[in-house]
Amino acid sequence: MKTLKEDCLKIKKGIPKTDGYHMPGEFEPHEGCILIWPERSGSWTYEAKAARRAFREVILSIAKSEKVYLAVGEKGRKSAEEMFKNAENVELFFVDTDDAWARDVAPTFVTGPEDVCALNWEFNAWGGKVDGLYASWDKDNAFARYFARKYGYPCYDAAPFVLEGGSVHSDGEGTLLVTEACLLSKGRNPDLSKKEIEEKLKNYLGAEKVLWLPRGIYNDETNEHVDNVCAFLRPGEVVLAWTEDENDPQYALSMEDLLYLEKETDAKGRKMIVHKLPIPKHPICITKEDVKGYVFEEGEDEREVGERLAASYVNFYFSNDAVILPIFGGENEESDQKAVALMQELNPDRTVIPVYARDILVGGGNIHCITQQIPAGNKIRK
């Protein structure tokens, strides 16, 4: 398998914001999308067979309107080549990673007056030695630079600043969404103050204002990434994960976020329009059958029977002409239908494509977590 060669990577000097770069909104046009084929046995049950079927449905749904770049490791190569043998708009490339969370380990992209650039953050498995989810993450930490080199994108290197793509949302007009629970966690940048972290976000992502939501989704093992609780639909307008059940632990978390958003404005001075997107009515938990399917490595966070998973419909992906929306089935069929209907109402120019995603959720995240958009624009070819 291929490995990273730093001497082939064009590192851009300077500060993206000063150089005229910014992070577009996900709802803006894409050149493509990056995913990583699942194989880690501590994340994906029963040799990732069910997860791969779910990934395939996500990939083919995205490929209807934009190119998919699918990273495949040695263990998953045979299955990927078989499942995408005749697939259009899907390009496989081969490199080993530690896991399959492209949102967090692939580059975050920024656009400038003339080209698109990659951003490489330091990745430490969502908390490093403090509360990271696995013991070794070197391959994942190298992936963003590898992708930028392979596909000819110049790259700003933000390391050693620790950040994951799922911990930030952009409206494309100068406003970022993050959560305090995640970005101020002790396992990421403990030597930086909130103000210093905010300045780095502004400089690297070309932003003018950062909205610090207090909390994310209950029991989200990423320290509550924003992409699971709140997302921009367009500038000035967001969906917020919600529940009316005051006995649900999510109620207090979502209420904190709502109260915060109601008193804030974005970088353009607009009051935020907040649409409540209910979470599944029935909690989705790890079963005995799920636990039997994992094979955990030493030092890896392990699942337990009855563990509540961080299920949320906010963890969707905007492709160029669709909303790829997770659904969970079973006793949550009614919740699924309501989420599909609401998202279709809020996104009349896109088709909502529901994908059964419990088999992704058992890995710890969902559709937004396994995808990373590449914005449309020019790039420097090899």
Residue 8 banded pLDDT, cuts 50, 70, 90: low
Sign of CA dihedral 306, 312, 313, 319: negative
pLDDT at residue 115 is higher than 70: yes
Residue 249: is the preceding peptide bond cis (ω within 30°)?
no
pLDDT per residue as tens digits for the range 186-214: 999 999 999 999 999 999 999 999 999 99
Mean pLDDT of 306-330: 98
In a domain, 10, yes or no: no
Residue 302 banded pLDDT, cuts 50, 70, 90: very high
In a domain, 354, yes or no: yes
Number of domains in the chain: 1
Predicted structure pTM score: 0.96
**Is 369 a residue of the active site?**
yes
Run of H or E residues at 69 = strand 67-72
Query: Angle at the Cα of 296 (from 293 to 301), degrees rounded to 5?
Result: 115
Q: How far apart are CA 77 and CA 48, in angstroms?
A: 13
Say what the pLDDT of residue 114 is: 84
Residue 381 banded pLDDT, cuts 50, 70, 90: very low
In CATH, what number is assigned to the domain containing residue 246? Answer: 3.75.10.10
pLDDT at residue 382 is higher than 60: no
Say what the pLDDT of residue 380 is: 55
In a domain, 365, yes or no: yes
In a domain, 198, yes or no: yes
User: Which residues pair with residue 157 across a beta bridge?
Assistant: 120
pLDDT per residue as tens digits for the range 230-287: 999 999 999 999 999 999 999 999 999 999 999 999 999 999 999 999 999 999 999 9
Q: Largest Cα–Cα distance of the chain, in whole Å?
A: 56
Share of the chain above pLDDT 90, in %: 94
In a domain, 335, yes or no: yes
In a domain, 381, yes or no: no
Torsion-angle region of 377 (φ positive above 0: left; ψ -120 to 50: alpha; else: beta) = left
Containing domain of residue 328, as a range? 20-375
In a domain, 8, yes or no: no
Q: How far apart are CA 373 and CA 232, in angstroms?
A: 15
> Is the CB of residue 242 less than 8 Å from the CB of residue 278?
yes
pLDDT at residue 338 is higher than 70: yes
Q: Which residues, at least 6 apart from 329, have a Cβ–Cβ distance to it below 8 Å?
A: 336, 356, 358
Say what the pLDDT of residue 288 is: 97
> Which of 3-7, 13-17, 370-374 holds the top average pLDDT?
370-374
Q: In whole angstroms, how far apart are CA 324 and each of 47, 244, 295, 302, 370?
A: 24, 25, 29, 29, 12
pLDDT per residue as tens digits for the range 21-72: 999 999 999 999 999 999 999 999 999 999 999 999 999 999 999 999 999 9
Looking up tokens 């403090």, which residue turns up? 130
Q: How far apart are CA 116 and CA 102, in angstroms?
A: 18
In a domain, 12, yes or no: no
> Is the CB of residue 239 less than 8 Å from the CB of residue 206?
no
Share of the chain above pLDDT 70, in %: 97
Residue 6 banded pLDDT, cuts 50, 70, 90: low
**Catalytic, out of 33, 117, 155, 369:** 369
Say what the pLDDT of residue 113 is: 85
